[in-house]
Structures are given as C-alpha cells and as structure tokens.
Amino acid sequence: MTEIFLYTLLITAMASFIGYELISKIPQTLHTPLMSGSNAISGITLIAGILIYPNVVDDILLKTIVLIGVSFATMNIVGGFSVTGRILEMFKKND
C-alpha cells in the first residue's frame, strides 16, 4: 500500500508543479475562460462515477447517489467546456 500511495503522491506533486508553472503564464485577459475551462476539467469525477457504478447497482440508495454525482459531473463537464468555447470564440475573432 505505502509504495503505491507514495507513487500517487509523487504524481500529485508533479501535476501540481506543472499546473502552477503553466497557469502562471496565462494572461489576465483569459482568466475567466481559464476558470470555466479548468472548472470543466474538475468534472473529471465522472470517471470515478463510471468506475464505481457497477459495484453499487444492487443498492438503490447508493446507486441513486452515484447517479446524482454522475449527473453533476456531466453538467459540469459539458456546460463548462461549452461556455469556455463560447467565450474563446469571442477572443478568437479578434485575430
């Protein structure tokens, strides 16, 4: 367990560093689409919903809660990316 846990921690640290480095370079003009876009990425929890759903199909309560989570995450992903696209479209036509 410890080895895997440490390995995951390492990945977390690396991802945080990369994220920090890249995002520091994003100009103020794009901060709103950055938020809505990264927001959409946080809907990645959908993956967890997909992974655990087959284990809970027999328990109606847990199944419902997973479905709520899946629904929230899906709205988050689709809505987030779609509104980010809308915003960036406005910045694109200036080019």
Partner 1 sequence: MTESLYLISAVLFILALKLFSRPSTAFRANNLAIGGMVLAIISAFNLKFADYDGVFYLVILVSAGLGVVVSNRVQMTQMPELVGIFNGLGGGASGAIAYVELSNSTLVLSDFSVAIFSMTVGVFTFSGSLIAVAKLRGKLNSFNATVINILSGVLLGGVIALLITKIDYSTEYIIILSLLLGISRVVLIGGADMPVVIAFLNSLSGIAAMAAGFIVNSIILIIAGALVGASGIILTLLMCSAMNRTIYQVLKGGFGTTKINNEYAKDPISTSAEDIAIQLSYAESVVIVPGYGMAVAQAQSAVKELTNTLKSKNIGVKFAIHPVAGRMPGHMNVLLAEVDIDYEDMFTLEDINSEFSATDVVLVIGANDVVNPLARTDEDSPIYGMPILDVDMAKQVVVIKRSMSPGYAGIANPLFIEENTKMLFADAKEGLENIVKSFELV
Residues in 11-30 that interact with partner 1 by CB under 8 A? 11-12, 15-16, 18-20, 22-30
Q: Which residue, chain included where needed, has tokens 């284990």?
A: 55
Single-letter amino acid code for the residue at 74: T
Under the binding rule (CB under 8 A), the answer on residue 95 touching partner 1 is yes
Under the binding rule (CB under 8 A), the answer on residue 35 touching partner 1 is yes
What residues from 65 to 94 belong to the interface with partner 1 (CB under 8 A)? 65-94
Under the binding rule (CB under 8 A), the answer on residue 33 touching partner 1 is yes
Contact 80, 36 (CB under 8 A): yes
Report, in Å, the least distance between residue 59 CB and partner 1: 8
Report, in Å, the least distance between residue 7 CB and partner 1: 9
Give the torsion through C-alpha atoms of 70, 46, 80, 21, to 10 deg.
150
Closest by Cα among 5, 70, 79 to 41: 79
